[in-house]
Amino acid sequence: MSFLEASKVLVFSAHAADFCSRAGGAIARFADAGAAVHVVDLSYGERCESPALWDRDPLPSIDEIKAIRKDEIEAAAAILGATIECLDYGDAPLLLGPDRRIEIVDSVRAFQPDLVLCHWIDDTLHPDHVEAAQAVLWACRYCGVRGIETGHHPCENPEFVCYEAQLGSSPVTKFLPEFYVDIGVSMERKIAAMEALATQPSLPVQYEILAKYRVLEAQITAGMKECVYAEGFRRIGTDAVY
């Protein structure tokens, strides 16, 4: 199965906007191809990733920030063609201990994906991202274990693929894409979805720059000569070639 042939795609996001800024183009392409795509935000990013709200005077409450971010993520996911939920675990720090990991296992079992997208496992300059990646990878490897009881039956281990690390951190985190997705046909929707995430107003400009940079790599290293925008990904735990 090639990457874009996945029929059930589960996307985990440490904060409200991560799924969109890092993989929004691919999500839209999956949805356009008829795949079921569901996003699980682990937090609303209410503390460390809601800059426009923390600049307000008077300062909104945490609950008010969460409510604003909830509306934003639902709008962004709808633009991309995905469904979304937030487990509201809190951020900065995002802490995913044993009980929460079991809940993540249950999320995997409930959806039974053939592909899971999440943060780069070594995104060390953003500890919340590392916490998310480690917990989700754990859940993907243990979702088939019958001795772990949750509200849903065990399921097959899905493919685990990492999307982009924190913007600009690749020299430190060593995120080097193994394959690229041409998002030329979905870049307009990705930008519209990022614009819906108005609490982080810098996203559209920053991630359009990244998409243009990744396309240079895709053209040179992957022979994607006609590509104009791209997203980069790395797989974990498989020898599959995309």
Q: Is residue 27 part of a domain?
A: yes
Is residue 94 over pLDDT 70?
yes
The Cα 163–Cα 170 span in angstroms is 12
Q: Is residue 241 part of a domain?
A: no
For 151-169, write each residue's pLDDT tens digit.
Answer: 999 999 999 999 999 999 9
Q: Is residue 242 part of a domain?
A: no
Q: Are 168 and 207 in contact (CB under 8 A)?
A: no
Buried b (16+ CB within 10 A) or exposed e, 111-147: bbbbbbbbbbbbbeebebbbbbbebbbbbbebbbeee
- Mean pLDDT of all residues belonging to the chain: 96
Q: Are 127 and 169 in contact (CB under 8 A)?
A: no
Q: How confident is the model at residue 240 (pLDDT cuts 50, 70, 90)?
A: very low
For 28-54, write each residue's pLDDT tens digit.
Answer: 999 999 999 999 999 999 999 999 999
CATH number at residue 102: 3.40.50.10320
Q: DSSP letters of 42-94?
A: S---TTTS-HHHHT-SSPPPHHHHHHHHHHHHHHHHHHHT-EEEE----SSS-
Q: Is residue 115 part of a domain?
A: yes
The predicted structure's pLDDT at residue 237: 66
The predicted structure's pLDDT at residue 192: 98
Is residue 173 over pLDDT 90?
yes
Q: Tokens at residue 109, please?
A: 């079992």
**What does the CA dihedral 76, 79, 85, 87 come to, rounded to 10 degrees?**
-20
The Cα 116–Cα 160 span in angstroms is 5
For 128-154, write each residue's pLDDT tens digit.
Answer: 999 999 999 999 999 999 999 999 999
State whether residue 201 is helix, strand or coil.
coil
Structural domain count of the chain: 1
Q: Are 73 and 86 in contact (CB under 8 A)?
A: yes
Is residue 25 over pLDDT 70?
yes
Question: To 5 degrees, how large is the angle CA 193–CA 225–CA 235?
Answer: 60
- For the four alpha carbons of 19, 21, 23 and 25, in that order, the dihedral sign comes to positive
Domain around 103: 3-236
